[in-house]
Amino acid sequence: MKDYLKDYATTAFRFYARNGKDAVEYKKKIHDDAIDTIKRREIKTKGSGGSPTEAMMIEAENMISFKMAEIKDMEAVESTLRQLESMRFSQGIAIIQAIEIVYFKDPYKELIKGQLTSRVQIAIDSIPASESFIYRGLRKARDIFAIERGLRIEK
């Protein structure tokens, strides 16, 4: 049976790494980028460029609402990592290390077929941990992510 959650969660973990590993900062960046875009648009039309008006702030909040799914994904990844940190010390840390190696490495590059499997092999050697432990840990991380994100998981 296909694990549809795996693709979504993998993409969310990589998105998190690609965008600075901080949901609050990402939200601030969206807000600031929206304000800058609005200011540039006003400068072109009016020549002002002063402080943000109420209309600018509303438009910036609308942009944040538009990107809310991305923000929620990042928050769910952060919550997942916090929960893993609170697990029995060595087990949670090992899973986080596996996530770093398998999901966070080169988040800007497109994944090619078999790349995650080869990264699992690197994790086995680096952590060190067994292959089954790595796969179970990554699955646990995806399941925690799904619950935090409000997605259905079926076993």
CB neighbours of residue 71 within 10 Å: 17
Exposure class string for 125-147: b at 16+ Cβ within 10 A, else e: eebebeeebbbebbebbbbbbbe
In angstroms, the CA 14 to CA 90 distance is: 23
Residue 43: predicted pLDDT: 67
Lowest mean pLDDT of 43-52, 124-133, 143-152, name the range.
43-52
pLDDT at 42 over 80: no
CB neighbours of residue 78 within 10 Å: 16
Residue 155: predicted pLDDT: 61
Global pTM reads: 0.84
Residue of higher predicted confidence among 43 and 75? 75
Percentage, residues of the chain above pLDDT 70: 90
Exposure class string for 86-97: b at 16+ Cβ within 10 A, else e: ebeeeebebbbb
Per-residue pLDDT reduced to its tens digit, 97-121 = 999 999 999 999 999 999 999 999 9
Residue 50: predicted pLDDT: 52
Per-residue pLDDT reduced to its tens digit, 25-37 = 999 998 888 888 8
Give the chain's length: 155
pLDDT at 123 over 60: yes
Residue of higher predicted confidence among 87 and 2? 87
Taking each helix axis from N to C terminus, what angle separates 89-99 and 68-85, rounded to the nearest 10 degrees?
140
Residue 47: predicted pLDDT: 52
Q: How confident is the model at residue 147 (pLDDT cuts 50, 70, 90)?
A: very high
Cα four-point dihedral sign 126, 19, 67, 116: negative
Residue 71: predicted pLDDT: 94
Residue 1: predicted pLDDT: 42
Q: What amino acid is encoded at 136 in this protein?
A: R
